[in-house]
Structure formats: structure tokens, C-alpha cells
Amino acid sequence: MALMNSHYFFTYIALVHRDILVIRQRLRGAMIDAGIQLLVQVITFGALFPTMGVPKNLIAPLFVGSIVLQLQFLGMGFGLRTIFDIKYNRFIDYRLTLPLPKRWLFASYITYFCIEAAIISLPLFTFGIILLGTNFEMIAPNWWLFCIIYLLTLCLYGLLFLGMSMYYSFDWFMQNLWPRRLTFLLMLSPLFVVWFKVKQFSPWFARAMLISPLTYATEGLRATLIGGPEYISAYICIPMLFGWIFLFSCFASYGIRKRLDPV
């Protein structure tokens, strides 16, 4: 079966178009969710953190780290919807009957997640920066590199949670995913610290944090959005994110075969 032809492409576009219609139906609720998150983030980072004595130069990197955490929550929601469909709704059975290779089918799943996550998270980056005003001191933002790392981060989360929803059983996913997988992923990432600050405190722990793909997502977004030498270079983060996306693609592919082709 050929990997690429016009029939596969237009079927994939039809699936994405159907998902966009679903997103449009949920758009009002998604925008309300984004507005609530934006309000909470602005109050937290614009008022509460400075009141508690958090240095002004840490407001921006901590704000970016919090958005990466929000993307993980969105990824968890995507994984839950997928595994509930596999366990109960079985809408996936209809999609599997389509004359479309599984690569293309699940590429539409990832595309759906990326579009939905972008609708919710982009207002945090744009309006959040505007509302935080002088608390967000951008030095030299690189918007092209920011867009690349942002899209890679969305793909990273989409593949990670698609793979876990396919690989693990429903009960294991619900009971053990956070304590046994996501907790370590978060603890080894600089969401609420700056990596170079950790390196000054403990070079050993800083090296351990390089194991987590979220380190490159968080530091890459900081390097491109804020700028300056205090963060890991975007030219290091981008190839590392590509490497992790490849690994998660293999993991998701294995999980899909395990779930849908068990024999």
C-alpha cells in the first residue's frame, strides 16, 4: 500500500474538516476556558508573584513554563477522550473502516489536538504578554523560531498522549499514568525554574533534566519568546524536539499496533 497518494490526502482533509466542525461547535466553551485561564495567569504572575517577592526577571520564564504545563493538561484531556472512545464509544471502529492507512488516520487525530490546543493556548501567549505589560520584559523575541518550537511542542504532546492511550490498558491509564509517568516527566523539567539556574545549583540534577523532552520545549519557548543567553539555545532545542517526536512516533505506532492489531 502506497504511503502517499491523492486519495489518502483528500480523505485525511475530509477527516480534519469534520474535526474542525466539531471544534467550531465547541469553540465558545474553549474560548471561555481560555479566558478563565488567561485571567488566572495574569492575576497570578502579574500581581501575586511580585507581591510574594518573586524577582521581576523570573516572571516571564515562569509564565512560559506554566503554559507548557497547561499544554500537558490539554494533552491529558486528548488522551482521555481517545482511551474512552476505545473502551466505550468505539467511534474509532467507523474510522478504521475508511480506506486510509493508519498513519494518515492517526495523523488526523494529532492535527485535531494541535488545532484545539492552539485555540486555547495561543491567547495565553499573546494577550497574556500584553496584559502582563512591563512584567514581561522581552529582550529579543524570534517569532519564526517560536512558531517552530510551539508547533513541535504541540506535536510532541499529541504523539505522547496518543501513544499512551493506545499502549496502556484503560485501568492502568486511569490509575497509574500520573504517578508513574507524568510525575517524573514534570519533576525533571524546568517548568517553574530556569535550567541554567538549576545548573548553577546542581550540575548533576541539571544534566538529569536534559532527559525530559519538556526541558527542550520549555527552554526553547523561553529562548525564542524572551531571548537572551539565560536559556538553552533554540538551535539545540529544535533538533532535540525532532528526536523526541521521532521516538514518540515509534511509541505511538507500536501502541496502535498493540491495541488494534493484537494478533
Q: What is the pLDDT of residues 207-221, one digit of tens each?
A: 999 999 999 999 999
Residue 225 in this model has a pLDDT that exceeds 80: yes
- Kindly give, in sequence order, each residue whose CB lies less than 8 Å from that of residue 5, ignoring residues fewer than 6 positions away: none
Give CA–CA dist 75/199, Å, rounded: 29
Residues 215-229 have a mean pLDDT of: 90
Q: How many domains does the chain have?
A: 1
Residue 167 in this model has a pLDDT that exceeds 90: yes
Expressed in percent and rounded to 5, the helix, strand and coil fractions of the chain are 80, 0, 20
Give CA–CA dist 115/20, Å, rounded: 8
Q: What's the pLDDT score for residue 1?
A: 46
Give CA–CA dist 217/222, Å, rounded: 9
Give the domain range for residue 117: 10-260
Which residue's C-alpha cell is 546542581?
202
Give CA–CA dist 50/27, Å, rounded: 33
Residues 158 and 110: beta-carbon distance below 8 Å: yes
Selection from 21-30, 90-99, 145-154, 253-262 with the highest mean pLDDT: 145-154
Q: What is the mean pLDDT of the chain?
A: 87
- 135 against 224, higher pLDDT: 224
Lowest mean pLDDT among 1-10, 65-74, 114-123, 243-252: 1-10
Residue 84 in this model has a pLDDT that exceeds 80: yes
First vs last C-alpha separation in the chain: 20
Cell, residue 71: 499544554
- 4 against 102, higher pLDDT: 102
Task: List C-alpha distances in Å: 118 to 71, 109, 144, 146.
Answer: 9, 14, 16, 13
| 3 in a structural domain | no
Q: What's the pLDDT score for residue 3?
A: 57
**By C-alpha distance, which of 111, 121, 90 is closest to 221?**
121
Selection from 72-76, 97-101, 108-112, 237-241 with the highest mean pLDDT: 237-241
Cell, residue 160: 505522547
Give CA–CA dist 169/83, Å, rounded: 9
Q: What's the pLDDT score for residue 159?
A: 95
| pTM reported for the whole predicted model | 0.90
| 191 in a structural domain | yes
Residue 263 in this model has a pLDDT that exceeds 50: no
- Per-residue model confidence as pLDDT tens digits over 91-101: 788 888 888 88
| 183 in a structural domain | yes
- 258 against 263, higher pLDDT: 258
| 2 in a structural domain | no
pLDDT band for position 138 (cuts 50, 70, 90): low
Give CA–CA dist 170/113, Å, rounded: 20
| 196 in a structural domain | yes
pLDDT band for position 254 (cuts 50, 70, 90): very high
Residue 20 in this model has a pLDDT that exceeds 60: yes
| 41 in a structural domain | yes
| 68 in a structural domain | yes
pLDDT band for position 136 (cuts 50, 70, 90): low
| 5 in a structural domain | no
